[in-house]
Structure 1
C-alpha cells in the first residue's frame, strides 16, 4: 500500500547523516516534480512542502540559498529537538494546521519567532490572550509577570494587552515583590499605571454619580 501520509510526516529515523544526503539526492532525481525540501534535525529527515514552508517562513527560504545563489534541497537545523520542530510544522503548515493548546504553544513560540512565522505567531497571540482572560483571576502576581515577559519577548501585543489589564488590578507591592518585575520594559510598566489610573477614575466617577443621585439622608 502506498504511503499516503503528508510529506511533513515522512520522517526517517534510522539513517545516518551520510545516508540522508545520498537517499535525498536519489529521491530528487527520481521525483524531480515534487516540490519538497528536506529538513535535517538530530540526524533525521523531514520532507516538507517547499512552497508552503517558504510562504510561512522567509527565514527558511533564506537558509535554503547557498553562497552561490543556488537553492539547497536540504536545510540542517542545529540546536533543535526533532519533536519541537515537528510540533512547529504541525502548527504552521497550512496543509496540517493543528490547533494550539496550553502545552504546545510555549514550545512553538521560540521557533515561530526565530523563523519569523508571522501567521503562527498571530495564532499563538490570539490563543494566549484568550487563555489568560479565562484563567486570569487564578494567576499569582509572579505568574502574571512571567507572562508579561513572554509577551514582550515574542512581541505578542494582544497577549501583552490582556496581561497588562490583569496586572493593573493587582496591588503594586505584590508585583514589585516578584524577582523578575524589573525586567519588564518601562513602556509596559507605564501602560500598567495608565490602566490603573483609568480604572480608579471610572470608580470615582461612578461613586460621584451615586452620591449625586442618592444623597445620604440624616
Structure 2
C-alpha cells in the first residue's frame, strides 16, 4: 500500500465512531503514565510489594511490553488479509496507518479502547504474578507510553539528532522500504532476537 503523506482515512460512516478513532497523542501518554505511577504507589502503600520488588517487576513488565508490541505488530496488525473480514479488521487497526502515516491523530489507539485492554491485561497478569502485578502492569503501561512517544516522534518530526535517531530510522524502514521487517517501534530488541532486522542492519 503506497503511503500518503497528507490526508486521513475514513474508517466509519458514523461520525461519532469516526471521531472516537482520533486522539491527541498527549492524552493517552498522560493517562498511562499516571496509571502506572498510581499502580506502583498503591502497591507500595498497601504493602503488596516493596521498593526493590517494585523496581524489578516494573522493568520486567517493560520488557514484556516490548515483546507484546512486537508480536501484536507482526502477527495481528500485519495479519494475512485473505478474507474480506480480515482485510477490514487489518485496515481499521493498522492498514490505514500505513496508507496515511503522517496522520497525527491516529498514531495512538483511542484511550477508551486502550483502557479496556489494560484492564484485561491487569487481570491476566494478576493470575500469573499475583501481588507483583502492580509492578508488572505498571511497567507494561509505562512501556506503552514510551512506545506512543517514540511512534509520534518518528511520524511527526524529521530525524532527531539524539538517541531516538536509530529508532526513527528503524521504523521508517518498516514504513517506506519493507513492511515485513523492523516490527519493533520502541525497541529493536525482538527484531534482533527473532530475525526481522533489516538486512543492512544485520
TM-score normalised according to structure 2 size: 0.25
Higher strand fraction: Structure 1 or Structure 2? 1
Q: TM-score, normalised by structure 1?
A: 0.24
